[in-house]
Structure 1
C-alpha cells in the first residue's frame, strides 16, 4: 500500500497525555517558551537548539512538520498534559524507510516536566502506533551515549541496546566526536 493512503491519527490520548500533530497556526508561540525553559539542556544534545529559535522560525518548523506528516515522511507530535493542557514536549516517528518498514523515534521534553514519566508514556504510544497501525518491522531510538536521561526511555520500554557506535557523530555544538547508542525493537 502506498503510505499516503494510510489513515494516521492526528491525535492520540493516553491516561495523562494528548499527543497531536501540529495543525494549528500559532503553535510556535506554544513551543518556544518550552525551548526557553529547557535551552541549557537541549543545546547539549540537539544541534537544532544551539540557540533559542524565534517564534517565526518555530512556526515554520512546525508547518513543515505538518507537510511532512501529510506526505507520510515523518510524524511529529506535540505532547500536552491532558488535565492542564500545558505543552510538555515533542516526539516523532522519523527517518522512515517504507521499503524496509522501519523508523526512528526522537523526542524532547520541557525540563520542568522531566522525570514524571510523560515522555516514556508518549514514546510507548508512538511505538504501538508504529508497530500496530503503520506495520513497521523495526523501530530505533538513537541518542548520544552520555545522554543518560534519554537512554532511560528505551531501556524502560524494552528496547534492546544493539550497539554503541564510537566516534560516530559530532556533539550538538559540533566541537567533539561522540558515541551513539542504537536501541531497537523489532516486530
Structure 2
C-alpha cells in the first residue's frame, strides 16, 4: 500500500523502519497521547509492531486495517505513523489515528498525512463515517481534526490507561461524516 502527497509517502511499514520508529515513539511527549505505546519504546517494540503490520497487510484477504509509515519524500525518513482501522465495510465506518515525531511538529506534515487518510477512506474505500478521538490535554489533535470537519461527539470518561505513563485518561470522541468533510 502506498499513498502520496506533495511531501509525503504513506506506505506499509518495513523492518528497515525500526530506528525511525524508535526515534519517534521513544519520547514521552508523543507516547503519552497514544493509548498502547509503551515508554521507553525499544527496538524490540518496534520490530514486534512492524512484524504485526506486515502480517496483517495482505490485500488479497481484504484489509480490515491500514497501519502506515509516514515518510518524507525528500529524505525517505519515517517521521510518523497513521492508521485507518476497525474498518466495517457494511456500516461504512472506520477509526484510527496519527502520530508525528516531535522534531517534525508544526510543519504541517500531520495535517497533510491526515487529509490523505481521509481522502483514501472516503474516495477509495467508499466509507461514510470516520471515528477518531484524542486524550484530554491534546488540543492540537482536535484542532487538526476540526479543520477537516470533525465534530466533538462526547467524552469516554476514564476510557484508557495510557501504557506510556499509567495515567487513566479521558478520551474525547470525534467523528466525521463524508458530507461534512472539509477538503484541505
TM-score bucket (shorter structure): 0.7 to 0.9
Indicate how the Cα distance of structure 1 residues 16 and 175 shifts in structure 2: closer, same or farther if over 3 A, else same. closer
| Paired position in structure 1 for 2:155 | 164
Matched pairs, number: 174
**Structure 1 segment 2-41 matched on structure 2, within 5 A:** 10-22=1-13, 24-36=14-26, 39-41=27-29
**For residues 147 and 13 of structure 1, what CA distance do their matches in structure 2 show?**
27
Indicate how the Cα distance of structure 1 residues 51 and 169 shifts in structure 2: closer, same or farther if over 3 A, else same. closer
**For residues 124 and 167 of structure 2, what CA distance do their matches in structure 1 show?**
40
What is the CA distance between 1:110 and its match in structure 2?
0.2
| Paired position in structure 2 for 1:4 | none
CA contact (8 A) 2:69 2:82 kept: yes
**For residues 97 and 12 of structure 2, what CA distance do their matches in structure 1 show?**
14
RMSD: 1.8
Q: TM (normalized to structure 2)?
A: 0.85
| Paired position in structure 1 for 2:113 | 122
Q: TM (normalized to structure 1)?
A: 0.84
CA contact (8 A) 2:17 2:78 kept: no
Gaps of 5+ in 1: 1-9
SS of the residue 1:115 aligns to: coil
The structure with higher relative contact order (CA 8 Å, sep 6+) is 2
Gaps of 5+ in 2: 179-184
